[in-house]
Amino acid sequence: MVYISTDILGGVVKPVRWMGSSRRDLQRAAAEVRQIAGAELFEVQKGKSPSDFKPMASVGPGVCEIRIRTGVAHRMLYIARFDEAVYVLHFFEKRSRKTAPSDIQLARKRLAEVNLCRHEEGRQ
C-alpha cells in the first residue's frame, strides 16, 4: 500500500525515505536542530528549495545538502529528483570547514543503495 501525504493546502507532499541511520542520527541532535531540519525538509517535500542548501556533486548527481547553522554546524544530505520520495542519505555534525571524506563516502554508499532499490522496484 502506498500512502501519499498532502499538506493542509491540498498540495502533494513527497514522503521521506530515510537511508541507514540518518533518521536516528537526526533524532539524537538538539531540539533546535531537529526543528530547523524538519522545516527545511518539509520545503523539499513540497518541491521547494530549502533556505540554506548547496548541491553536493561530490556525492552524486542531484544530491544536495541542507545546511543547519546553530551553535554547531549540521548537514542533511538528500536527493529529491525522484517522483516517489525524498531520500535522506545522511545526517551529521560538521566538525570542520570541509566535509569529511568519510561522510561523503557514506552518502555515496547510501545513494548506491537507493539506486539499487529503485532498480529492483522497476523505477529505473
Q: What's residue 123's pLDDT?
A: 82
Pairing of strands 63-69, 73-79: antiparallel
Q: Where are the beta strands (DSSP E) in 44-101?
A: 53-55, 63-69, 73-79, 86-94
Q: What's residue 3's pLDDT?
A: 46
Which residue's C-alpha cell is 507532499? 13
Q: Which of 2-6, 76-80, 102-106, 120-124 has the lowest mean pLDDT?
A: 2-6
Q: How many Å is the maximal CA-CA distance in the chain? A: 43
> Whole-angstrom Cα distance, residue 88 to residue 103?
13
Mean pLDDT over all residues of the chain? Answer: 91
Pick the closest to residue 68 from 93, 104, 46 (CA basis).
93
3-37 confidence digits (pLDDT tens): 445 555 556 799 999 999 999 999 999 999 999 99
CATH label, 13-120, candidates 3.30.2310.20, 3.30.450.20, 1.10.1240.10, 3.20.20.70: 3.30.2310.20
Q: Is the dihedral of CA 92, 95, 96, 101 positive or negative?
A: negative
Q: What's residue 17's pLDDT?
A: 96
Q: Where are the domains of the chain?
A: 13-120
Q: Please give the residue that has the higher pLDDT: either 91 or 12.
A: 91
The H or E element spanning position 22 is helix 22-27
Q: Please give the average per-residue pLDDT across 68-85, as a whole number.
A: 95
Q: Please give the average per-residue pLDDT across 58-77, as a whole number.
A: 96
Q: Please give the average per-residue pLDDT across 56-84, as a whole number.
A: 96
